[in-house]
Homo-oligomer: A and B are copies of this chain.
Amino acid sequence: MNNMTPLTAGMDIGGTNSVIGLVNRKGYILKETRIKTTDYPEFIDFANKVKRVITKLMSQIDGQVALKGIGIGAPDGNYYTGTISHAPNLPWQGTVPINEVFEKILKVPAFLTNDANAAAIGELLFGKGKKKKHFIVITLGTGLGSGIVVDGDVLYGHTGVAGELGHITVDPDGRECSCGRKGCLESYVSATGLCRTFSELLGVHTSDSDLRSRAYNKLSSAVIFEAAQKGDAIALEAFDITAKRLALALSNAVVVLNPEAIFLFGGLAKAGGLILKPTRKYFKNYLWKLFEGSVTISLSGLQDTNAAVLGSSALAWKELEKNGSL
């Protein structure tokens, strides 16, 4: 038993696909596969499929390995309760006891959190956060998620839903948000937010843009990025406005949380010169002098890896170490 290499499974549950990987303590993904979440309208069937997948992946690895636990990242995954409740993008109704079911089926400890928190733990164990105790990971995708690390662990808060930076109200009379309120940060700073800003700017300006011939629902951050690369002035302005909004939110997060680093992650973050560079410029202008030089903004260290699997497996490693189970 002692010669077996310990592994954890990392699983990212998505609305369409779920990815499962087997990961060692150094953050190396030994095996990985994906299944279609929508093929399993019943959660128990999904869980049994996951078990079969893990068993198969384990058998494909040369040498002796032992599964120590499973970490799961999922939209609205709650760390404390180990459940997902009424997640709008998942096929399962009501409250799903994720941890309970997986522990019963897999006979190892299961740990759950939301995807942004998983990204933060991935950064902590396997990315640029290895030697850091206070940092923030911002995930820029369809929405804006965040995972906050305080004193070397994720800030979960009283009910397990801390770190929702995307739902800071930046303008109480602003854009409608999917959460039912108005003016949330993610309605401005996200792939969707970028499209909304771009569309508004088409109304503001009279200048030409190739994208004037494209319908709103055919816009994406990718096509706006492409246009900006070609010098489209409106696309460039949309990126600039997005970066400025992000910078202000980050400078506000800094005076509250005093982190030593902020890591940007996700599709939109990759638009390097168009997001990272202006964000840094505006951030420098906004930041209070007291914090000058104490905090950096950079791309996530997991940017080009399968961060979702790494993050959720890192959750399992982190918790097993906390519990002294290794």
Contact = CB atoms under 8 A, between A and B. Distances in A.
A296 to B, nearest CB: 11
| Interface SS of A by simple majority | loop
A209 interface: no
Contacts of A134: 157-158, 162
Given A148-B256, A167-B255, A168-B255, A288 B181 contact: yes
B258 A162 contact: yes
Nearest to A180: B289
Nearest to A251: B169
Nearest to A161: B258
Interface residues of A, number: 41
Interface in A147-187: 148, 150-151, 153, 155-165, 167-169, 172, 179-181
A251 B133 CA distance: 26
Q: Would you list the 7 A-B pairs with minimal beta carbon distance, nearest first?
A: A157-B258, A162-B258, A158-B260, A164-B255, A134-B158, A168-B252, A167-B255
Contact of A163 (B153, B256, B295): B256
A288 B290 CA distance: 31
12 contacts: A150-B151, A150-B157, A151-B151, A158-B294, A159-B260, A162-B258, A163-B256, A163-B258, A168-B252, A168-B256, A169-B248, A180-B289
